Amino acid sequence: MSPNTTLLFFAFLAVVALIVLIARFKLHPFIALIVVSLALGVAAGMPFANVVKAFTDGVVASWDSSRSS
């Protein structure tokens, strides 16, 4: 399986996991999104520390852009 196919498969599994966590287990959507996005980053081959850094940088950038509007 090529790396692109593997990443596409992981993305599909992430969407399914989001749906299951939210609909079946009634997990809050924000918490489910955090858990699945961190897991997807690790599954894609990023070191966990880099996944957390990328996630926090994205959250901070979104927060800052929403505050400046």
Contact partners, residue 22, CB within 8 Å, separation at least 6:
29, 32
| pLDDT tens profile 1-57 | 899 999 999 999 999 999 999 999 999 999 999 999 999 999 999 999 999 999 999
* Residue-range domain boundaries for the chain: 3-68
Q: pTM above 0.75?
A: yes
Cβ–Cβ < 8 Å for 41, 55: yes
Which H helix or E strand runs over 46?
Answer: none
